[in-house]
Amino acid sequence: MDRSLVLIKPDAIQRALAGQIISRLERKGLKIIAMKILHMDKDLAQRHYAIHKGKPFFDDLVSFITSSPLIAVVLQGENAVQIIRQMMGETDPAKASSGTIRGDFGIDIGRNLVHGSDSPENARTEIDLFFSAEEIFDYDRELDTWIY
C-alpha cells in the first residue's frame, strides 16, 4: 500500500475549500491515516521544498506556504501517490483538466491549492517531516473489502 503526503495549502484553507478537497480524496477510497492543521515555519517550508531551492519562484513559494495555516494529511491506498497526482491535476491550474482539484478550483500556478507527493520514496521523506510515528494510524476499515 502506498502512502502520500497531501497538503491542503493556505489558499484552500482561506477559501474554505479544505472539506471539499479532503472529501474528494476520501470518496475515492483513500484512507486518512494522519491529519493536522499547522502553520509551517520558514525552516520546515525550506526543507519540504528543498528540491526547488534556487528556482525563481522559490522565495514566493516559501512565503506563500508560510503565510497562513494549512492542513497536512497522510492518505493510504493502492497506488495512492499516482492516484492523488491525477486527482490534483497539473501544477498550473490553468492547464489542469476539469474534474481535477486544481482544474476545478484554481487559476494561478502560485495558488494551486494542494500538494501531493510525487513518488513513494519522496512520500516517506515528506511524511517524516510532518508526522511522528505515533501520529499515524494504520487501522482496518470494513468498507475496504468493497473498494479492493
Q: Which amino acid is at 124?
A: R
Interactions with Mg ion, residue window 106-125 (CB under 5 A) = 118
Cα–Cα dist 60/92, whole Å: 15
Q: Which of 39, 48, 52, 115 is catalytic?
A: 115
Is 112 a binding residue for ligand IDP by CB under 6 A? The answer is yes
Is 91 a binding residue for ligand IDP by CB under 6 A? The answer is yes
Is residue 115 annotated as part of the catalytic site, yes or no?
A: yes
Distance (Å) of CA 70 to CA 31, 50, 55, 138, 145: 19, 19, 23, 23, 32
Q: Which residues pair with 76 in a beta bridge?
A: 3, 31
Write out the three cell numbers for 100: 481535477
Find the part of the chain contacting ligand IDP (CB under 6 A) among 74-82, 111-119, 124-132, 136-144.
Answer: 111-119
Residue of 110, 128, 138, 141 interacting with ligand IDP (CB under 6 A): 110
Q: Would you say 110 or 137 has its CB closer to ligand IDP?
A: 110
3-state SS, residue 70: strand
State the pairing for strand pair 70-77/2-8. Answer: antiparallel
Q: Would you say 90 or 118 has its CB closer to Mg ion?
A: 118
Which positions lie near ligand IDP, rule CB under 6 A? 52, 57, 61, 91, 109-110, 112, 115, 118
Q: Which residues are catalytic?
A: 115
